[in-house]
Amino acid sequence: MRHLLSTRDLDRETAIEILDVAEDMADVAIREVKKLPTLRNKTVINLFFEDSTRTRTSFELAAKRLSADLINFSAKGSSVSKGESLKDTAQTLAAMGADAVVIRHSASGAPRVLADSGWIDAAILNAGDGTHEHPTQALLDAFTIRKRLHGSASRGRDLDGVAVTIVGDILHSRVARSNVWLLNTLGASVRLVAPATLLPPGVEHWPVELGFDLDDAVDAGPDAIMMLRIQAERMHAAYFPSAGEYSRQWGLDDERFNRLRADTMVMHPGPMNRGLEISSRAADSGQSTVLEQVANGVSIRMAVLYLLLSGAVEQGRAS
């Protein structure tokens, strides 16, 4: 694995290997000494063109636990916030000897452009690009589902037969895209629920079931239901009429939460809009995996950094 740009590129074997390595990394987190010397002398750069304290911090923690040197290079608001300078920024980082670049960018495909450009030789890790993909989020979600289902017997397992419902703004969600491809690769069945305005064009060709009605999806009794963050500004572009209507139609309120199976996982990539797409009761219940997702995020990012920088997965395994 040379780069991690999308989950679409991952085959089942590689995906499971990442999840398994993350299990090992999770074991490190519960030791007294939480640090491994594995990536000593490696330089990891967090290149964030978009604010994201959570994701940036998660990668930072992951790199530090592996003893890598971690530099935060915030491009937001500085002279490098525009795309033309992606090249200059990349070449600057290359000159500084970066071994891996974790990039978050508002433009879909920016990590791919960086990886294909020849401007920099480092491993490129997509930490969220526009409305395209957010592969480590999907990996940590899959890890979380597997862990809840199989606990300490998770290693080596896929998600065959697991039913996952993703609800909300699929159109603008990189989390949804990465999850659809990865969950499908791992054998899970995915159902998307959203108003028609927030489904991507051509979604009928995706390997998913589609629905507009959240009540139907709730009553179908999924193993996990993933609520996506809705941006209230979307109503200004006529995607839906009001936050209230969105919440009534596509929010996981108490009544819908009560109707879920008692063991249905309630997932959210965060940050949550409590009272809008998810009720506090659902978010704070024992079924909620929200905080596990955060913790697992560090393990997944450690696993990916380790695999990219130690060359542990042979090139070519990931297509």
Partner 1 sequence: MKLLITGATLPNGEVTDLLVENGRFAEASDSSKGATVIDASGLQALPGLVDLHTHLREPGFEQSETVLTGSRAAAIGGFTAVHAMANTSPVGDTAAVVEQVHSLGRHHGYVTVRPIGAVTAGLSGERLSEIGAMARSRASVTVFSDDGKCVSDALLMRRALEYVKTFGGVIAQHAQDPRLTEDAQMNEGTLSGELGLVGWPAVAEESVIARDVLLAQHVDARLHICHLSTAGSVEVIRWAKARGIKVTAEVTPHHLLLTEELARGYDSRFKVNPPLRRDEDVQALRSALADGTIDIVATDHAPHPIESKEAAWDDASFGMVGLESALSVVQLAMVDTGMLGWPDVARVLSSKPAEIGRLVGYDRAFAVGSRAQFTLFDPTASRVFDVSSLRGKGVNSPYLGRQLPGRVITTVHDGYPTVLDGELVDAATVAESAGRLDD
User: Interface residues with partner 1 (CB under 8 A)?
Assistant: 82-84, 86-87, 105-110, 112-113, 116-117, 129-133, 171, 174, 177, 200-203, 205
CB of 84 to partner 1, least distance (A): 5
Q: Considering the complex, state which of residue 13 and residue 116 has its C-beta at the smaller distance from partner 1.
A: 116
- The encoded tokens of residue 243 equal 């936050």
CB of 207 to partner 1, least distance (A): 12
Angle among Cα 139, 144, 146 to the nearest 5 degrees reads: 95
CB of 114 to partner 1, least distance (A): 9
The answer to whether 122 touches 101, Cβ cutoff 8 Å, is yes
The answer to whether 71 touches 43, Cβ cutoff 8 Å, is yes
Q: Considering the complex, state which of residue 68 and residue 86 has its C-beta at the smaller distance from partner 1.
A: 86
Q: Considering the complex, state which of residue 75 and residue 278 has its C-beta at the smaller distance from partner 1.
A: 75
Q: Considering the complex, state which of residue 108 and residue 231 has its C-beta at the smaller distance from partner 1.
A: 108
- Buried b or exposed e, range 78-109, using 16+ CB within 10 angstroms: eebeeeebbeebbebbeeeebbbbbbbbeeeb
**CA distance linking residue 230 with residue 240, whole number of Å:** 11
CB of 278 to partner 1, least distance (A): 24
| Among the listed residues 132, 133, 128, the one whose alpha carbon sits nearest the alpha carbon of residue 49 | 128
CB of 137 to partner 1, least distance (A): 14
CB of 156 to partner 1, least distance (A): 30
Q: Considering the complex, state which of residue 32 and residue 233 has its C-beta at the smaller distance from partner 1.
A: 233
Contacts of 140 (CB under 8 A, 6+ apart): 22, 293, 296, 297, 299, 300, 301
Q: Considering the complex, state which of residue 3 and residue 42 has its C-beta at the smaller distance from partner 1.
A: 3
